[in-house]
Amino acid sequence: MHVWKKMMTAAIAITATLTAACTNTQAAPADTASTAWSVPMQQPSTGFEPNWSLDGFAQHTLRQVVRVTTGGDSARITLSNRFGRTDLRIASATIARTDTGASVHQDTLRPLRFHGSETAIIAPGTDLTSDPAELHLAPLEFATVTLYLDEPTGPATFHAQGYATSYRAPGNHATDADATAFTETTHSWYYLSSVQMSGAAPADAIVAFGDSITDGFGSDNDGNNRYPDALADRLAAAGTPRPVLNAGIGGNTIISDSPWYGESALRRFDRDVLAQDGARTVVMLGGLNDIGFSEVDLPTYKPNPVVTVDQLIAGYRDMIARAHRAGLRVIGGTLLPMKGAEYYTPTSAAKLRALNEWIRTSGEFDAVADFNTAVADPADPERLDPAFDSGDHKHPNAAGYRAMAAAIDLNTL
């Protein structure tokens, strides 16, 4: 959904072969671990701002900070080489409780092992989960995961829009507590696809599934004020904390794959929603890019076929059916107003109204979150309320994301 300022310099084609290969996941034995944080993986690209995915890493230490939405007494991580072309070799890895920036609390720094080994090899198209490491974290606390990547990785599987600072240092600094060596930064996540916590009573997870409005475009870097973050805050404040997992990808569409915006929602739904440990509810919000991309002739918006409302409804029905077969509740989110955005036209506006009407009235969802009404300008309901507009007339700011989270009836989750 974001208009990129520069075109991608290289891309690795998305193929059905890679999608099938990613099911070949190497995992540690199952226990009571709950996914506390996760992010969908994408193929390497130039992204929305400078990142390290195309060049990858060699003799680098990569340090990444995440906020867990459920706590526990031990942690494990999952690393993804889903879009890699060669083996990913992990020379060493650690996890710790975050202090500030790239620094960690020394007394919480723990080595991570993989089937008992300090090192690991992750084949192309696969994921690998570490052994658990003793680490106490409360809900909404921050964990820092550090990887030392000694051998050249090649282009890196990543998540483009992290809205969180990731740090890099030359050489091996996996066990450093201070931040001195970590002088390079980006706002993407690399290889790290999830953190799981054990030792607390399992709680049913909520997966927020969608595009850049779920991913958090317009929120603050390191602010953790995307709408799924605000929903996790609401649940904790109500005394009912639950894992809230963000499965948004900026620019994602329901129908089409893209080298910039990831595999289509239909293609990635099973992996990014149904495969999440403990998932019991999914909040769906998507279709704005399918509606809008065909209205604008931009290279970064391609493929941009004309997509009908009937096609979008069919896509929603397919995902609803899959979710229900897996025992998940499905919350439908109405699409946000976008008057003034670059792909607002009479055609796209009519499609948006028709799709929202179906979401509100079809009865095919278990519940509806009327995000559109929550952030609309009372004086012009087809426009975002100026108090909630990040500036591009289609993405909310932090206040708008809080309004979206407030529009979800917690009793429906």
DSSP per position, 81-148: -TT-SS-EEE-EEEEEEB-STT-B-GGG-EE--BTTBS-EEE-TT-EEEPPPEEEEE-TT-EEEEEEE
pLDDT by residue (tens digit) across 287-316?
Answer: 999 999 999 998 888 889 999 999 999 999
The pLDDT of 55-83, averaged and rounded, is 97
Strands 205-210 and 166-170: unpaired
pLDDT by residue (tens digit) across 136-175?
Answer: 999 999 999 999 999 999 999 999 999 999 999 999 999 9
Tell whether the model's pLDDT for residue 28 goes beyond 70: no
pLDDT value for 298: 87
H or E element, residue 158: strand 158-159
Show the tokens assigned to 375: 């952030």
pTM, rounded to two decimals: 0.91
pLDDT by residue (tens digit) across 356-412?
Answer: 999 999 999 999 999 999 999 999 999 999 999 999 999 999 999 999 999 999 999
Report the DSSP beta bridge partners of residue 169. Answer: 61
The pLDDT of 214-234, averaged and rounded, is 98
pLDDT by residue (tens digit) across 94-146?
Answer: 999 999 999 999 999 999 999 999 999 999 999 999 999 999 999 999 999 99
Non-local CB neighbours of 96 within 8 Å, separated by 6+ positions: 104, 105, 108, 109, 110, 135, 143, 144, 146, 177
pLDDT value for 31: 56
Q: Which amino acid is at 371?
A: F
Closest by CA position to 269, among listed 210, 310, 216: 210
- Cβ contact 114:130 at 8 Å: yes
Non-local CB neighbours of 159 within 8 Å, separated by 6+ positions: 39, 40, 41, 42, 188, 189, 190, 249
